[in-house]
C-alpha cells in the first residue's frame, strides 16, 4: 500500500469514527437540528476530504462534470433537505469504493513491478585477480564480472570462463534452465544456478535487457486502450445528461402531476444523481487492462500498452518473417561449390567474413568450418540488411550474401536454384563460388498457424528476403495464404502497406519477426510482435509485444490473454449499465432510498473491480 493511500485510510477512519459517534449520540440524546447539522457536517468533510481534493483538481483542469461532481452535488443536496445521516453515508460508501479502486490499481501495478523488478542489487567486478562489489550501473563495456550460484546476472554479458545453468524464467517464462558455456551470451535479470562463471560485459546497465523490459512495462501502464478512451468520452456525455435528467426529476413532477410535492421529488432527484455516478464503469476498465498486462508479463510476454491488447484481440491478418520465426533459424551447410579454389578454402573465407555477424547463417558457416576463427584478420566488416555482409579479409574485400549482392557489386555469376538458402561469395569483383545452407520449419509452426486460421479466421502472409525456392516450400508446408520472397526491408514495408490499405476500421494487422530486417515492419504494423527478443535491441525497440521465449505458441497465449481481458471489459460494461438502468428506474419511482442507492452503486463498483482484478491471475 502506498503512503498516500495509507493517509487516505487514516483520514477515512477518523471520519467514520466521527460519523458513528454522531449516530450514537443522536440515538442516546435529543439533539437540535443545528447540532446535528454541525456534527454530521464535520464527519462529511473529513470522510469526503479526498473527494473534494480530487474535484478541485478536476475543476483546475476544466473538467466540470465528473462522477465527483455528481456525488458531491447529491450529498450537499441531502444536507439541504436535512438528510444528514444519509448524506454522510453516501460519501462514506463512495470513498470506500474509491479507496478499493486505488488499492486494486496499486495492487495490479505492484504485481507487474514484482514480476519485472528483477534488477540485481550489486555486481561483482574482477580487477587484477581481486573481486569488488559495485553498483551494476558502474560497469563499463569490457569489464569482467564474476557471477556466483544464486546471484542474478547484473548486465548482458558473454561467458569467458566456467560453465553453469541459467534460470531464465524471469525473462522468458521458461522453467527449464539453460546451459551456459564460454562464448554464450547471458542476460541481465536471469539467475546463475550452480557454477561460478566469469563474463565480459557487452551492454551497459541502462542498455541491458532487464532495464529495457522494465521501462517498457512501466510505460505500458500509461497507454490507454480504445475501450478506456470510449468510456472517457462516454462519461463526458453521460454525466451532463444524467445531471439534466436529475433536475427534471426534481422539477417536472412538482409542477405537473405531483403538484407542490417538492421535498419528495428533490430527494428522488438526489438519489438519481447518486445512482447515475459512473464509477464502476470508469474504474474497472483500466484495472482490467493492467491485469492483462500483468498476466502476460508473468508468462514471459511483455505488452507495451493496453491498446495493443485490444488490437491483438481484433487481429485478422498475421504477417510472418520466415528465417528464425517460422523456421528454426538453425542452418546447416548442405553443399559447397568453389570456383578457382578448393571447397575448404571457400568455407574458410566465408566463415571469417561472417564471424562478426549474429545471423544464423554466420553460425552455420562457423560450425561447418569447424576450426578456430582468427577475427584479427577481419576488419571493416559491414552488415547490409537484405544483401549480406562484406569485410576486408587478408587484404582483400570479400562479399558474402545473396544474388542481389552479387548484382549490386557487378559480379558475374549464374543464379543457383537449390532447396535452401544459397550464399554467394565474391573476392573483389571475382566470383568465388556458392554455399547452400538449409533451414528446417519449427515443430510448433503448423499448429500455431492452424489456430490462427481456425480461431481468428486470419489471413496468413509471409514476407522474407530469402530465395523463392526455399520460401515457397515453407509456405506450402504451412498452408500460408500469401508468400513474398527476395524482399528488401523497404520491399517488406511496401508489401505491408498494401495489406494495411485493404483493412477497415474493425480489422488489425499483426507482424511477427525477430531481427533488424523486421524492425521497420514491426513498427508499422498495428501490432508488432518480436520473438525471442533477448538481445535484439532493434526488435525490442520496434515491437509492441515482446515474446521473451522463441516459441510460436506464445503468440496464441498472447491472443488468449487479450481476448480474456476484452471479455472481462465487455462483462463489466454490460453488467454496470444493466444494473444502473434498473436502479435508476426503481429510484425514480420511489422504491430506493439514498443509502440503498449508494449501496447498490458501490456493490456494482466492487463487483466490476473484482472481476477486473481476476485477469491478473489468468493463466493460459
pLDDT digits (tens, 9 = 90+) for 187-234: 887 888 888 999 999 988 888 776 776 665 556 555 555 655 665 666
Q: Please state the rounded mean pLDDT for residues 161-185.
A: 75
Q: Do 277 and 94 form a contact (C-beta atoms < 8 A)?
A: yes
Catalytic residue from among 50, 321, 466, 526: 321
Q: Where are the domains of the chain?
A: 140-203, 291-327+441-562, 332-438
CATH class given for the domain over 332-438: alpha beta
**pLDDT at residue 185 above 90?**
no
pLDDT digits (tens, 9 = 90+) for 327-341: 876 778 889 999 989
Per the structure block, which three cell numbers stand in for 607? 463487483
**pLDDT at residue 535 above 50?**
no
Give the chain's mean pLDDT. 83
pLDDT digits (tens, 9 = 90+) for 450-501: 999 999 999 999 988 777 877 888 899 899 999 998 887 678 888 988 998 8
Top-ranked range on mean pLDDT: pick from 176-180, 379-383, 555-559, 605-609: 555-559
Question: What's the confidence (pLDDT) of residue 105?
Answer: 63
Based on the residue annotation, tell me whether 321 is a catalytic residue of this protein. Answer: yes
**pLDDT at residue 173 above 70?**
no
pLDDT digits (tens, 9 = 90+) for 66-114: 777 877 887 888 788 788 888 888 788 778 767 776 776 666 556 555 5
Q: Do 169 and 175 form a contact (C-beta atoms < 8 A)?
A: yes
**pLDDT at residue 571 above 90?**
no
Could you give the angle at the alpha carbon of 415 between the alpha carbons of 411 and 419, nearest 5°? 140
DSSP track, 533-569 = -TT-HHHHHH-SEEESS--THHHHHHHHHHHHHHHHH
What is the phi-psi region of residue 470: left when phi exceeds 0, alpha when psi lies from -120 to 50, beta otherwise?
alpha
- Report d(CA 432, CA 60) in Å as an integer: 73
CATH hierarchy code of domain 291-327+441-562: 3.40.50.1000
- Report d(CA 340, CA 455) in Å as an integer: 55
Q: Please state the rounded mean pLDDT for residues 47-70.
A: 83
- Report d(CA 393, CA 84) in Å as an integer: 89
Mean pLDDT check: name the lowest of 86-90, 174-178, 528-532, 595-599.
Answer: 174-178
- Report d(CA 556, CA 298) in Å as an integer: 15
CATH hierarchy code of domain 140-203: 2.70.150.10
445-455 helix and 468-478 helix, angle to the nearest 10 degrees? 60
Question: What's the confidence (pLDDT) of residue 222?
Answer: 54
Question: What's the confidence (pLDDT) of residue 197?
Answer: 92
Q: Please state the rounded mean pLDDT for residues 127-133.
A: 89
Q: Do 417 and 469 form a contact (C-beta atoms < 8 A)?
A: yes
**pLDDT at residue 578 above 50?**
yes
Question: What's the confidence (pLDDT) of residue 214?
Answer: 64
Residue 337's SS3 state is strand
**pLDDT at residue 435 above 90?**
yes
**pLDDT at residue 117 above 60?**
no
pLDDT digits (tens, 9 = 90+) for 408-434: 999 999 888 877 788 999 999 999 999
Nearest to 348 by CA among 334, 358, 338, 357: 338
**pLDDT band of 274, cuts 50, 70, 90:** confident
- 332-438: same fold as 291-327+441-562? no
Question: What's the confidence (pLDDT) of residue 224?
Answer: 52
Nearest to 414 by CA among 355, 339, 343, 340: 339
Q: Please state the rounded mean pLDDT for residues 372-393.
A: 87
Q: Please state the rounded mean pLDDT for residues 258-285.
A: 79
Question: What's the confidence (pLDDT) of residue 201?
Answer: 93
Q: How far is CA 460 from CA 25, 310, 556, in A?
A: 73, 20, 14
What is the phi-psi region of residue 617: left when phi exceeds 0, alpha when psi lies from -120 to 50, beta otherwise?
alpha
Q: How far is CA 411 from CA 26, 93, 167, 337, in A?
A: 100, 80, 48, 16
Per the structure block, which three cell numbers stand in for 166? 541459467
- Report d(CA 220, CA 228) in Å as an integer: 14
pLDDT digits (tens, 9 = 90+) for 17-29: 998 999 898 888 8
Amino acid at each position: 500500500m502506498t503512503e498516500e493511500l495509507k493517509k487516505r485510510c487514516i483520514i477515512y477512519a477518523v471520519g467514520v469514527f466521527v460519523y458513528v459517534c454522531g449516530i450514537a449520540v443522536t440515538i442516546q440524546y435529543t439533539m437540535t437540528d443545528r447540532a446535528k447539522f454541525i456534527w454530521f457536517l464535520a464527519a462529511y468533510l473529513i470522510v469526503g476530504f479526498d473527494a473534494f481534493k480530487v474535484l478541485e483538481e478536476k475543476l483546475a483542469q476544466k473538467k466540470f462534470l465528473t462522477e465527483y461532481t455528481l456525488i458531491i452535488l447529491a450529498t450537499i443536496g441531502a444536507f439541504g433537505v436535512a438528510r444528514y445521516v444519509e448524506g454522510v453515508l453516501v460519501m462514506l460508501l463512495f470513498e470506500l469504493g474509491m479507496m478499493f479502486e486505488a488499492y486494486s490499481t496499486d495492487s495490479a501495478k505492484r504485481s507487474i513491478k514484482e514480476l519485472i523488478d528483477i534488477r540485481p542489487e550489486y555486481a561483482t567486478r574482477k580487477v587484477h585477480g581481486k573481486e569488488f562489489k559495485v553498483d551494476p550501473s558502474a560497469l563499463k563495456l569490457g569489464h569482467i564480472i564474476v557471477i556466483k550460484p544464486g546471484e542474478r546476472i547484473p548486465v548482458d554479458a558473454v561467458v569467458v570462463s566456467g560453465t553453469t545453468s541459467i534460470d531464465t524464467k524471469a525473462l522468458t517464462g521458461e522453467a527449464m534452465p539453460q546451459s551456459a558455456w564460454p562464448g554464450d551470451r547471458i542476460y541481465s535479470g536471469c539467475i546463475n544456478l550452480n557454477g561460478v562463471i566469469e563474463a565480459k560485459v557487452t551492454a551497459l546497465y541502462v542498455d541491458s535487457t532487464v532495464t529495457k523490459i522494465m521501462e517498457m512495462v512501466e510505460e505500458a501502464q500509461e497507454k490507454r486502450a480504445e475501450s478506456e478512451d470510449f468510456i472517457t468520452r462516454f462519461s463526458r456525455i453521460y454525466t451532463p445528461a444524467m445531471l439534466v435528467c436529475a433536475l427534471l426529476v426534481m422539477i417536472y413532477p412538482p409542477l405537473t402531476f405531483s403538484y407542490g410535492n417538492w421535498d419528495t421529488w428533490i430527494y428522488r432527484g438526489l438519489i438519481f444523481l447518486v445512482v447515475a455516478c459512473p464509477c464502476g464503469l470508469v474504474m474497472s476498465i483500466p484495472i482490467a487492462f493492467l491485469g492483462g498486462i500483468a498476466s502476460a508479463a508473468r508468462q514471459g510476454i511483455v505488452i507495451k500498452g493496453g491498446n495493443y491488447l485490444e488490437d491483438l484481440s481484433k487481429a485478422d491478418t498475421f504477417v510472418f518473417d520466415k528465417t528464425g520465426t517460422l523456421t528454426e533459424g538453425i542452418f546447416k551447410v548442405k553443399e559447397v561449390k568453389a570456383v578457382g579454389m578448393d571447397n575448404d578454402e571457400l568455407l574458410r573465407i566465408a566463415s571469417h567474413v561472417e564471424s562478426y555477424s549474429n545471423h544464423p547463417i554466420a553460425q552455420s558457416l562457423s560450425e561447418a568450418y569447424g576450426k578456430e576463427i582468427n577475427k584479427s584478420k577481419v576488419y571493416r566488416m559491414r552488415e547490409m540488411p537484405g544483401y549480406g555482409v562484406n569485410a576486408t579479409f587478408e587484404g582483400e574485400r570479400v562479399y558474402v550474401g545473396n544474388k542481389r549482392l552479387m548484382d549490386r557489386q557487378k559480379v558475374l555469376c549464374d543464379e543457383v536454384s537449390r532447396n535452401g538458402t544459397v550464399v554467394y561469395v565474391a573476392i573483389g569483383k571475382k566470383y568465388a563460388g556458392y554455399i547452400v545452407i538449409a533451414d528446417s520449419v519449427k515443430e510448433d509452426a503448423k499448429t500455431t498457424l492452424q489456430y490462427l486460421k481456425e480461431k481468428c479466421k486470419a489471413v496468413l502472409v509471409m514476407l522474407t528476403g530469402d530465395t523463392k525456392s526455399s520460401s515457397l516450400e515453407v509456405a506450402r508446408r504451412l498452408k500460408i495464404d500469401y508468400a513474398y520472397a527476395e524482399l528488401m526491408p523497404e520491399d517488406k514495408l511496401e508489401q505491408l502497406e498494401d495489406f494495411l490499405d485493404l483493412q477497415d476500421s474493425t480489422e488489425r494487422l499483426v507482424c511477427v519477426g525477430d531481427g533488424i530486417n523486421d524492425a521497420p515492419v514491426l513498427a508499422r504494423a498495428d501490432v508488432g510482435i518480436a520473438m525471442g527478443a533477448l538481445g535484439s535491441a532493434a526488435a525490442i525497440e520496434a515491437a509492441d509485444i515482446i515474446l521473451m521465449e522463441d516459441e510460436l505458441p506464445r503468440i496464441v497465449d498472447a491472443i488468449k490473454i487479450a481476448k480474456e481481458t476484452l471479455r472481462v471489459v465487455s462483462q463489466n460494461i454490460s453488467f454496470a449499465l444493466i444494473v444502473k438502468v434498473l436502479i435508476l428506474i426503481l429510484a425514480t419511482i420511489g422504491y430506493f432510498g439514498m443509502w440503498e442507492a449508494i449501496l447498490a452503486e458501490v456493490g456494482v463498483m466492487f463487483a466490476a473491480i473484482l472481476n477486473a482484478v481476476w485477469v491478473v491471475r489468468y493463466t493460459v
